[in-house]
Amino acid sequence: MINISNVHKSYGKVKAISEISLTLERNKIIGLVGNNGSGKTTLMKILSGMINLDYGEVFINGERLNYKHNLLIANLIEEPCFYPGLTGKENLCYFLKINDRENLNLSKYVDLFNMNEHINNKYRTYSQGMKQRLRLIYILSRDTEYLLLDEPLIGLDHLAIQILKKELVKQVNEKNKTVFVVSHNIKDLESICDEIIFIKEGKLVNKINMKDIKKRNRYEISFFNENDVEYAKQILVEKIFSINKNKVIIELDDETMISSIIKSLVDLSIKEVKVVQDSLTTLYLRYLGDNTNDK
């Protein structure tokens, strides 16, 4: 488990992150979502030990973060220092060795990411997609407890994306690992994450459980007469989630309640009643807005 307590980091006068406190539990895939410049990569680098925090505390498995945790954490954050003149395999073997890891799983992941035909070619001949696959092979071959992945899908084709997503789920389910991942591909995060953390301007905005989102019973009731919304508000009271012109969205504890709700509104000009399911995209807009110029 990773515990983060009141972490702050500034670059000069610019606050990158502040007052970040959260827990990353084992056996979960946790997504980190935020606009450009919101502090996502800074947080990843702190957890990886790549940069020091200004103040606050980070504990890995109950022990304060230190250089020894390099054996527990594998990160995909910055472009690796793979040597252009070495082959893909030579690079992998070398970096696994200096990180005190044997290459027992190497052939498994080379095969998984369809790199057998290219693994003995010089790294400088690789396309961007092949370089990204090699990075992922390296990270997974280290077989660490924690995987910190910053934009792991960049450069990958559709097949490689599906392979990676399936493998991350497998790593969590079969090896009880923790995956902390940043991606601007909202739909891919939504399909694999157990939890999503929203960050804006360096501060934690919200943390949600994806199972809870799927369990919510929300209904949108629209009216022909916009004035009926005011009458509906008086009847529905605490069940109202949001209101927009001639529409009311309600949230119910039990989906069977919708029948009695409609009966209570029978004298109003109901136009339509439909189920509303939150998506990660709607949550992103709700918590972060559409401003991509956060500092």
pLDDT tens, residue by residue, 147-167: 999 999 999 999 999 999 999
Percent of the chain with pLDDT over 90: 60
> Residue length, the chain?
295
Q: What is the pLDDT of residues 106-127, one digit of tens each?
A: 999 999 999 999 999 999 999 9
**In the predicted model, what is the mean pLDDT of residues 273-294?**
70
pLDDT, greater one: 141 or 276 = 141
**In the predicted model, what is the mean pLDDT of residues 242-266?**
82
**In the predicted model, what is the mean pLDDT of residues 176-196?**
92
Residue bearing tokens 């990958």: 156
pTM for this prediction: 0.80
Cα–Cα distance list, 79 to 66, 75, 134, 156 (Å): 22, 11, 11, 15
List domains and CATH numbers for the chain. 2-209 (3.40.50.300), 217-276 (3.30.70.3400)
Eight-class DSSP state of 187 = H
Residue 83, token pair as written in the block: 């040597």
CA distance 34 to 186: 11
Q: Name the band, by pLDDT with cuts 50, 70 and 90, for residue 291.
A: very low
CA distance 107 to 89: 10
- pLDDT over threshold 80, residue 193: yes
Q: How much is the pLDDT for 214? A: 67
Q: Name the band, by pLDDT with cuts 50, 70 and 90, for residue 185.
A: confident
Residue 18, token pair as written in the block: 């502040």
- pLDDT over threshold 80, residue 85: yes
